[in-house]
Structure formats: C-alpha cells, structure tokens
Amino acid sequence: MSKDSSVRVRFAPSPTGPLHIGGVRTALYNYLFAKKHGGTFILRIEDTDQTRYVPGAEEYIIQSLQWLGLTPEESVNHGGDFGPYRQSERKDIYRKHVDQLIASGHAYYAFDTPEELESMRAREQAAGVHTPKYDQSVRLKMRNGLTLSQEEVATLIAKGDNVTVRMKVPVDETVTFSDKIREKVSFSSNELDDKVILKADGLPTYHLANIVDDRSMKISHVIRGEEWLSSTAHHVLLYRSFGWEDEMPVFAHLPLILKPSGKGKLSKRDGAKFGFPVFPLEWFDEKEQETFAGFREEGFLPEALINFLSLLGWNPGNDEETFSIDDLCQIFSLDQINKSGAQFNYDKAKWFNQQYINSTETSTLYAALKDSFDNSIDQNYLEKVIEQLKPRVTFLGDFKKQSAFFFDKPTDVDEKGLRKKFKLENEGHFTALASLINDSPNDSESIQTAVKGYIADNELSFGAIFAPLRIFIAGTMAGPDLFEMISLIGNKECSQRILDGIPLAKQLKNNG
C-alpha cells in the first residue's frame, strides 16, 4: 500500500437521526478508499440545519463508526489540522466566503418573507409553471439585492428580518462534471434554482458549507450517496464562482441500497416491516417514542456487517465474497462500484455473521459473551460450550439461547419429537444405554464406541435411538455432536437425564 497523502476523503453525515445502513456503507467505502491509497479518512459533522438537529445523533454516529472499527484520523474527537470538524463551529469561515460571492456578483441578498415566496409560487403555478422555482425567470420580480437599491438593502440588513443570501445561477451555461461511477454528468444551468446559501439564522446551507469545507479541508475525492448527485450541479457552479473549478475533488456517487424486493430505496421503516435492522446500533427515537433495532444488538459481529456492506454496491470482479477489512483495504477500488442499486438481502447478512462467528477464536467469543452468562460458570467449561455451539449459531445471542441444557437439565422439551421418535419397545434399551453411558469413561470416543456398539449388537436403528437420546439430554433434536455433548455435560448427569426422560416419553406415547 503506497502512502498518498494527497488522498483525503470525508464522511460528512448530518446529525438528524441515527445513521442509516446506507450511511454506514458510505463511511465504509470512504474508509477503504483512504486506506487503499494510504490517504486520510475524515469525519465531518454537517450540523448547519438546526431545525433538523437531533440530540444524541452525533454521538450515535461516532459510536457506530467506533463499533465497526472505521476510525477517522481527523474528526471532532481526533482533532486535525483542518478543524473545526463540526460545521456549526465554522460560521465565520462560511460568512467570509458568502461575502466574497456577493462582492463578485455570484450571490445576492434576498429578503422575501415566507408569504412572499408562497405567493410567487401561486402566481407561477397560475401562469402554468409546473414546479415553480426561485430562479432566473423570477429573481427580478422578488425583493432582493438585484431589485432593491443599495440603501434599501442596507436598511433591510440592519433590520435583520428574513435576511438570506442566494447564489445567482448563470443563464445558459452547461454544468458538466465527471463522476467516477457514472462518467460524465451534464445539467443546463437554466434548470437550476438560485439556492439559498446563507439562511436567516446566519448559518450556511448544506451546499455552501459542504464545498467550502471540501475545499479548505483539501478533500480529494467526494464519495457519497446517489441522492446527492443532483446537488452536485450547484456545487460545480459554486466552485466555478470561487474560481476553483479546475481543482474540484473527484466525485463518486454510490448506488442506492434497495429494499429486499429490489423495488425502491431501503427506508428506516423497512426494518420493522421486514424484521431486520437497518441501523448499526439500536436507536430510541424520542419523538416517535419508538425503538429501532440495531445490528449490534441483534448479535452481529462488526466484521460480518462490514463484509456484507462491502458487497452492497461494489464487486471484487470475481466470485469471492469473504473479505476481512484488511483484504478490503487492499483490493477496494472505485472502478468496481456498480451503477445500479444494490438489493438488501438479510439472509446474506446472516450467512456472513454465521461464517464470522464460526471462524472467531473461542477466547474472543468468550470475552464478548461472558457477561451474558451467570458469573458462577467456570471459564473453561463455558469456553467448551462456546466451542461446541460455534458452528451452529447465527447470532451472538444464540449462544445463550441454545446453551441452557449445558448447565441444567432441559426444561423445554421437544415433546412432539419425542412422541414421534420414541418407541415403547425400546424402553429397555434406553435403560441399558443409560447404564452403559454411566459406566463408560467420560470421553466422547469411549461413549461413542459404547453406544454405537450397543446399537449394532442389538440391531437397532440409529435414528430411533439417537433422536430420543438427544431430546432426553438436550431437550431438542438439534444441537452439537451427541457424544461431545455428553462428555462435556458429563456421562453420569446424562445417564440420569435419560432415566428421568423415559417416563415422560412413555406418558406422551400412551396419551397418543
């Protein structure tokens, strides 16, 4: 990996709520791109829209990145040479740039009240304009720096009511930029409105703050969701107005993440609708008094989620699909990002989690899980339980859910299975097997030899014996290897469970 200090990318979320899984993917791709090129990954908090600010959202974003190991080198918490990294703390920088645009004639003050804007829209609609915009066709009919005298402008600024600044979009210009994923994108300036760049509260809008920061933080590549593609036309015009057009960052707009059906964008409501998380961490929404599920709380390993997300929009160019974050840092490339939307497939996410849990060191799993178990349980014993269940679980929480019988006689017994598999004529064989197991040395090999030998000698069917044995011991027919399980729980205890289980099996049988 060569170190290229000129590669600087940023993840720039707005703290307007929890980080959606699409945002996490954007963060991941930025991170991977930075690492691939030995560049810098920056986290910038875009909080200039105070009306949409949600307390706790910034902290949530930071914690999510931390959980996933996507650590920024520059951020609110990590500092850096290009701070502050929270836009609400950069007001003076934006103001200076807005003034520069006003002075050069690329922006103008506008004083229109909400009522005046509303009547402009009504007027335009009456005249047959489908979606009225504050643009070149109406700007000279409004109350702004282009229509009022200098004195009037000065008086209105001093009064301070509804003072905004709008960009003056040029007439008949073509705005063209190249996108790494979409190639060339073109817009006619005549389709673009005079966007507000400074709001009445003195804070800039996203458009101005975003490009001023990308410029002053020396961002080399802007990698973000497709929903920002149309805003880029305004951004290019702003770069042009500042005289920076020749040094714009490279743009790469990532494809949408689609619902499992492939129809429409995956929304925050889809999680509850389809029964899977769409947020990295659980989130309680104060306003809606509703809890949204998180991948972490569902029992996902961050490595599994990363691998899953890496393939939602990018492809390695071959059939391989298991990649550690280190692999991804080596092979990730913007050239292999797909243009079309990526379908969210929760079963695939679960499959990755299963693979990752199975290949995680038992001691690491033990460290992550021990607090969810009774602290009187011996470490060595719990590690062995984890070892046996590891190939069988999908979520971290499954270890707890599927392991009760390792610690106590099962209380939740698969009665249906027992009724089906237990044969009354085998009662004596189970009693004999109980004593055989009791008398065998307590290692899985010996127990296996004894039990299989007995079955063969008595010409019994394996299924008719193994299934009830499993239910007597574990309460269920599913579970790890029978003989490993008996050896871990203990041959004496298991022998007793078999003897205790026979009467229940008979009763179930007799009752039909």
- For the annotated catalytic residues, the residue numbers are 268
- Output 208 or 369, the one with its CB closest to ligand GLU: 208
Report the nearest approach of ligand GLU to the CB of residue 206 (Å). Answer: 6
Q: Which residue from 7, 8, 9, 12 is in contact with ligand GLU, where contact means CB under 6 A? A: 12
Is the Cβ of residue 13 or residue 417 nearer to ligand GLU in the bound state? 13
352: its two tokens = 């990755």
> Distance of alpha carbon 251 from its chain centroid, rounded?
22
Which segment (9-17, 122-130, 336-344, 451-459) binds ligand GLU by CB under 6 A? 9-17
Nearer of residues 144 and 210 to ligand GLU, judged by Cβ: 210
Structure token digits, residue 355: 């693979």
Our CB check for ligand GLU shows the closer of 206 and 276 to be: 206
Interface with ligand GLU, residue 224, by CB under 6 A: yes
Among the listed ranges 7-15, 145-153, 381-389, 504-512, the one in contact with ligand GLU (CB under 6 A) is 7-15
β 221-225/250-254 pair status: parallel
- In the list 205, 210, 403, 495, the residue contacting ligand GLU (rule: CB under 6 A) is 210
How many residues bind ligand GLU (CB under 6 A)? The answer is 8
Closest approach of Cβ 53 to ligand GLU, in Å?
12
**Residues in 127-146 at the binding interface with ligand GLU, rule: CB under 6 A:** none
Specify the stretch interacting with ligand GLU by CB under 6 A; choose among 12-20, 265-273, 321-329, 499-507: 12-20
Residue of the chain from 53, 228, 244, 351 that contacts ligand GLU (CB under 6 A):
228
The residue (of 85 and 472) whose beta carbon lies closer to ligand GLU is: 85
Distance CA 106, CA 99 (A): 10
Nearest-angstrom CA–CA distance, 44 and 210: 10
Q: Which is nearer to ligand GLU, 14 or 40 (CB)?
A: 14
Establish if 164 lies at the interface with ligand GLU (CB under 6 A): no
Q: Which of 144, 143, 123 is nearest to 133 (CA)?
A: 123
Q: Which residue, 181 or 365, has its beta carbon nearer to ligand GLU?
A: 181
Q: Work out how close the CB of 212 gets to ligand GLU at its nearest, in angstroms, rounded to a whole number.
A: 12
Q: Is residue 226 a contact point for ligand GLU (CB under 6 A)?
A: no
Q: For residues 93 and 504, which CB has a smaller minimum distance to ligand GLU in the complex? A: 93
User: At which residue do the structure tokens 């979606």 appear?
Assistant: 131
* Residue 338 and residue 315 in contact, taking contact as beta carbons nearer than 8 Å: yes
Residue of the chain from 14, 40, 144, 487 that contacts ligand GLU (CB under 6 A): 14
Q: How far apart are CA 497 and CA 489, in angstroms?
A: 11
With CB under 6 A as the contact rule, the residue among 8, 13, 124, 389 that binds ligand GLU is 13
Long-range Cβ pairs for the range 27-30 (8 Å, 24+): 27/65, 27/68, 27/70, 28/68, 28/70, 28/306, 28/309, 28/310, 29/223, 29/254, 29/313, 29/314, 29/332, 29/337, 30/223
The span from the CA of 241 to the CA of 143, in Å, is: 23
Name the minimum Å distance from CB 224 to ligand GLU. 4
φ, ψ at 413 (rounded to 5°): -105, 135
Applying CB under 6 A, the span of 11-19, 161-169, 394-402, 444-452 interacting with ligand GLU comes to: 11-19
Only segment of 6-14, 134-142, 316-324, 422-430 that touches ligand GLU (CB under 6 A): 6-14
**Which of the residues 46 through 65 are near ligand GLU (CB under 6 A)?**
46
342-343 and 257-258 as β-strands: parallel, antiparallel, unpaired?
Answer: parallel
| Rounded Cα–Cα distance for residues 390 and 362 (Å) | 8
Q: Please say which residue, 44 or 168, places its beta carbon nearer to ligand GLU.
A: 44
Among the candidate windows 8-16, 65-73, 187-195, 476-484, which touches ligand GLU by CB under 6 A?
8-16
At its nearest, how many Å lie between ligand GLU and the CB of residue 85?
13
Task: Report d(CA 402, CA 299) in Å as an integer.
Answer: 14
In 238-376 the beta strands, taken as DSSP E runs, fall at 250-254, 257-258, 283-285, 290-292, 342-343
Task: Tell me whether the omega of the peptide bond preceding residue 84 falls within 30 degrees of 0, making it cis.
Answer: yes
Phi then psi dihedrals of residue 73, to 5 deg: -85, -25
Would you tell me the crossing angle of helices 427-439 and 491-510 to the nearest 10 degrees? 170
Question: CA 185, CA 234: separation in Å to the nearest integer?
Answer: 13
State in angstroms the smallest separation of the CB of 201 from ligand GLU: 17
Query: Minimum CB separation from ligand GLU for residue 47, in Å?
Result: 9
155: left (phi over 0), alpha (psi -120 to 50) or beta: alpha
**Minimum distance between the CB of residue 227 and ligand GLU, rounded to whole angstroms?**
8
- Interface with ligand GLU (CB under 6 A): 12-14, 46, 206, 210, 224, 228
